[in-house]
Structure 1
Amino acid sequence: MKIQTEVIIIHAFDDDGELLSDEKDTINLLAKLPLDSLDLDAISVVTNIYRVAQGLRNKMEREVLSEFGLSWTSFSLLYDLWIWKSVETKKLAQSAGVSKATISNITKTLERKELCYRKVDNRDRRITYVTITEKGKDVMEKVYPNFHKGEVEIASSLATDEKKDISKLLRRVIRENNF
């Protein structure tokens, strides 16, 4: 005897929230899965955040960061150091969303380029801090204006109020998920 389950689709798209073709394809596939419920709005939010993040990363690496020999993650690490001067590796890993091992590898590369240096905490040898160098600051002062132009370009189709609304909503997602 085969039990047929009914999929409850939770969907609250309004008329002006037109779906992208990729979203339609995803919904058509997922609606066939044996799930008790399917929250299409949650799928859409997460999928679109991912697509924007990947598109942003690819655009910036290709159009801005490659000129300075920086990957997205190395730029993120250098950016944090530029803002906070000296940061514990654990905090850098959390901020970049990568492992401490990845931070260690990127830091080694940035050290070879003389953009930062590592220092072990004298009181607790398990803690390592990474500090930006003057050369690292100089690189960031050259890279960031071009990076910011890319940020402005990416958000150019949004009105000021829309930018504020999106930022506010994303901050809530960040806080609620401890990202």
Structure 2
Amino acid sequence: MEHEVYKERREDPSLKLFVVLSKATRTILDLAQDDMVRYGLNPTEFATLELLYHRGAQPLQKIGERILLTSGSITYVVNNLEKKGYLERVRSDQDRRVTFAQITEKGRLLLNDIFPQHWKQIEHIMDGLSNEEKQQAIDLIKRLGLHADSLKNNS
């Protein structure tokens, strides 16, 4: 009886999707992170710089929300990037309690240099699917994520 339950679970498409999605995500993230480390940045430093590069100066609290870091972790990351000269802290003119992180010229030059290469690496990692398949995957995974998010918000 136990063996039949196990076999039934192994063949369940929900469980199979969870396992396949988890393994693929881990492998893809590992490859992308290996690429980031080549440039002397850890993944959270890279994500922070990328956010500031594309979205402009951000309040420190918003950075943590956008790249899913705790306030203590974002302080550590911002300190490291500031020591490297890639960003600077700027006090808000409207509210002195709010501090923004802003990419420096050195940080902008770094991303100008490495982002095209990183983008090519991401494209290379995703070459296992055609553009049409990528769009289908985006739509399906987004729908799955929205459903999971609604379950999280209802609990």
Pairwise same-fold verdict (TM > 0.5): yes
Q: How does 1:124-143 map to 2 (within 5 A)?
A: 124-143=95-114
Alpha-carbon distance in structure 2 between the residues aligned to 1:172 and 1:129? 33
Structure 1 gaps, min length 5: 10-26, 32-37
Tell me the distance in 1 between the aligned counterparts of 2:14 and 2:98: 38
**CA shift in 2, pair 1:48/1:97, >3 Å:** farther
Select 2:56's aligned residue among 70, 85, 97: 85
Shift in Å, 1:151: 1.2
Deviation at 1:148, TM superposition (A): 1.0
Alignment of 1:49-64 (within 5 A): 49-62=21-34, 64=35
Aligned residues: 149
For the residue of structure 1 that corresponds to 2:128, the secondary structure is coil
The CA RMSD measured in Å over matched residues stands at 2.9
Instruction: Quote how far apart the aligned CAs of 1:49 are.
Output: 3.3
SS at match of 1:118: strand
Summarize deviations over 1:86-117 as a string: whole Å, max 9, x none: 11222211221221211110110000011011
- Report the alpha carbon displacement of residue 138 of structure 1 after superposing the two structures with TM: 0.8
Q: Which moved more, 1:160-169 or 1:120-129?
A: 120-129
What pairs with 1:63-142 in structure 2 (closer than 5 Å)? 64-142=35-113
Provide the rounded CA distance (Å) in 2 between the counterparts of 1:173 and 1:125. Answer: 41
The Cα of 1:40 is off from its aligned counterpart by: 3.7
The change in CA–CA distance for 1:86 and 1:59 in structure 2 (over 3 A counts) is: same
Answer whether contact 2:32 2:121 (CA < 8 A) is retained: yes
- Note the C-alpha offset of 1:50: 3.1
Please state how far the C-alpha of 1:122 moved relative to its aligned partner.
4.0
Gap change, CA 1:169 and 1:70, over 3 Å in 2: same
The verdict on how the C-alpha distance between 1:123 and 1:46 changes in structure 2, with shifts beyond 3 A counting, is farther
Distance 2:129 2:109 in 1: 32
Among all aligned residue pairs of Structure 1 and Structure 2, give the percentage whose two residues are the same amino acid. Answer: 20
Shift of 1:58: 1.8
**Structure of higher RCO (CA pairs closer than 8 Å, 6+ residues apart):** 2
**TM-score (normalizing by structure 1):** 0.70
CA distance in 1, matches of 2:91, 2:134: 41
User: In 1, Cα distance between the equivalents of 2:108 and 2:84?
Assistant: 12
CA distance, structure 2, for counterparts of residue 109 and residue 124 of structure 1: 25
Inter-partner Cα distance in structure 1 for 2:65 and 2:74: 10
Select the structure of larger CA radius of gyration.
1
1:170 shift after superposition: 2.5
Q: Which has the higher helix share?
A: 2
* TM-score normalised according to structure 2 size: 0.79
Corresponding residue SS for 1:155: helix
